[in-house]
């Protein structure tokens, strides 16, 4: 997500002549350079190496601060590390936000703050008062994002505008193909010639917003959203995991096999993770412009061009 935001910043900066500059905190600027060298050689982009929990503050004054640091690609592998990054990292970034006298602060949160989506709730609105199960080890990420929101809100005053974007699921260039994200794994399997492996029963429902739409939504929430008012960021078009695998296969090679590892139990209802985006539509005029099918095609083309 950070790479997508940086891509859009550079593009807007050049096309609109904004003469803006950005400082990017990264644990490994060298690794980022290998991934996106065209973004690391610009005068408008500077890198600061450090851990979000203890980085040294730059001395400059900054008007805007975006906090997106998390361990989303490693969910479940180091739960305490996830929580530390989200809690202590947010504390550190907020301390910096005060010191640099920023006017606007964007927290990129997650739909994980809502916990498990009830069967009867087809889409999750921002007003939903559910929460992650504290007895489920998978809740570390969602609980960490809840803490991050709480910490951010307590700094909100007339000087600092705190914007909150609750992200759901996405796809696009740079999307990891070797993490716990189904669509990334499906694209990897398909590009390797198949089969596409579904570890579960394939009935779970998700929705996907393409990177270009995502960056537009995040910038609009940041610049026009109401301070202290969270906005869901994602697509409200639900698709089952099996349907998703079929779309990926049809994009790469329709003859690729799809293997579903588990059978659906008769008494089991498929889980879902779908946002209600009415608030973003009505208040900010945001719309999804790139279809899931087109987003998959663009992502596949990106990885094909890398090989």
Asked whether 169 and 204 are in contact (CB, 8 A), the reply is: no
Does pLDDT of 73 surpass 90?
no
Neighbours of 258 (CB within 10 A): 18
The pLDDT value recorded for residue 137 is: 85
What mean pLDDT do residues 199-221 have? 96
What mean pLDDT do residues 165-174 have? 96
* pLDDT, tens digit (0-9, with 9 covering 90-100), for 98-117: 999 999 999 999 999 999 99
The pLDDT value recorded for residue 138 is: 86
Does pLDDT of 232 surpass 80?
yes
Does pLDDT of 265 surpass 70?
no
pLDDT band at 266 (very low <50, low <70, confident <90, very high): low
Distance CA 135, CA 182 (A): 25
What mean pLDDT do residues 215-232 have? 98
* pLDDT, tens digit (0-9, with 9 covering 90-100), for 120-138: 999 999 999 999 999 998 8
The pLDDT value recorded for residue 95 is: 95
Helix (H, G, I), strand (E, B) or coil at 275: strand
- Beta strand 239-240 with 205-206 is antiparallel
Closest by alpha carbon to 227, among 137, 300, 154, 128?
A: 154
The pair of structure tokens assigned to 84 is 């530390």
- Listed as own residue / partner, the contacts of 43-51 with beta carbons closer than 8 Å and 24 or more positions apart are 44/10, 44/13, 44/20, 45/6, 45/10, 45/21, 46/21, 46/22, 47/23, 48/23, 48/24, 50/25, 50/26, 51/27, 51/89
Does pLDDT of 76 surpass 70?
no
- Listed as own residue / partner, the contacts of 23-27 with beta carbons closer than 8 Å and 24 or more positions apart are 23/47, 23/48, 23/58, 23/60, 23/62, 24/48, 25/50, 25/52, 25/55, 25/69, 26/50, 27/51
Q: Give pTM, 2 decimals.
A: 0.94
The pLDDT value recorded for residue 157 is: 74
Portion of the chain with pLDDT greater than 70, in percent = 96
Q: Which residue has the tokens 């198949």?
A: 194
Instruction: Tell me the C-alpha to C-alpha distance, in Å, between residue 88 and each of 28, 153, 270, 275.
Output: 19, 15, 35, 28
What mean pLDDT do residues 253-262 have? 93
Q: What is the mean pLDDT of the chain?
A: 93
The pLDDT value recorded for residue 131 is: 95
């Amino acid at each position: 997500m950070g790479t997508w935001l940086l891509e859009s910043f550079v593009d807007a900066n050049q096309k609109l002549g904004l003469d803006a500059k950005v400082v990017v905190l990264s644990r490994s600027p060298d690794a980022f350079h290998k991934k996106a060298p065209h973004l690391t050689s610009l005068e408008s982009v500077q890198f600061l190496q450090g851990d979000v929990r203890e980085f040294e503050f730059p001395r400059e004054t900054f008007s805007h601060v975006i906090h997106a640091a998390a361990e989303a690609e490693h969910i479940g592998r180091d739960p305490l590390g996830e929580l530390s990054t989200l809690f202590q990292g947010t504390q550190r970034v907020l301390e910096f936000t005060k010191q640099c006298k920023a006017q606007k602060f964007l927290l990129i949160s997650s739909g994980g703050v809502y916990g498990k989506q009830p069967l009867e709730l087809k889409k999750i609105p921002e007003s939903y008062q559910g929460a992650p199960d504290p007895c489920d080890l998978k809740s570390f990420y969602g609980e960490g994002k809840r803490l991050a929101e709480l910490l951010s809100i307590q700094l909100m005053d007339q000087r600092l505008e705190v914007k909150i974007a609750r992200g759901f699921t996405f796809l696009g260039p740079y999307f990891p193909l070797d993490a716990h994200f189904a669509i990334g794994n499906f694209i990897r399997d398909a590009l390797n010639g198949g089969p596409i492996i579904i570890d579960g029963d394939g009935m779970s429902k998700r929705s996907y917003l393409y990177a270009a739409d995502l960056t537009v939504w995040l910038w609009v929430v940041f610049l026009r959203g109401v301070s202290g008012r969270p906005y869901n960021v994602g697509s409200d078009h639900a698709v089952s995991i099996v349907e998703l695998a079929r779309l990926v296969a049809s994009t790469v090679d329709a003859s690729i096999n799809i293997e579903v590892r588990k059978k659906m139990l008769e008494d089991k209802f498929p889980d879902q993770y779908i946002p209600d985006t009415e608030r973003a539509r009505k208040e900010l005029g945001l719309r999804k412009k790139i279809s899931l099918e087109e987003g998959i095609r663009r992502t596949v083309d990106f990885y094909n061009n890398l090989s």
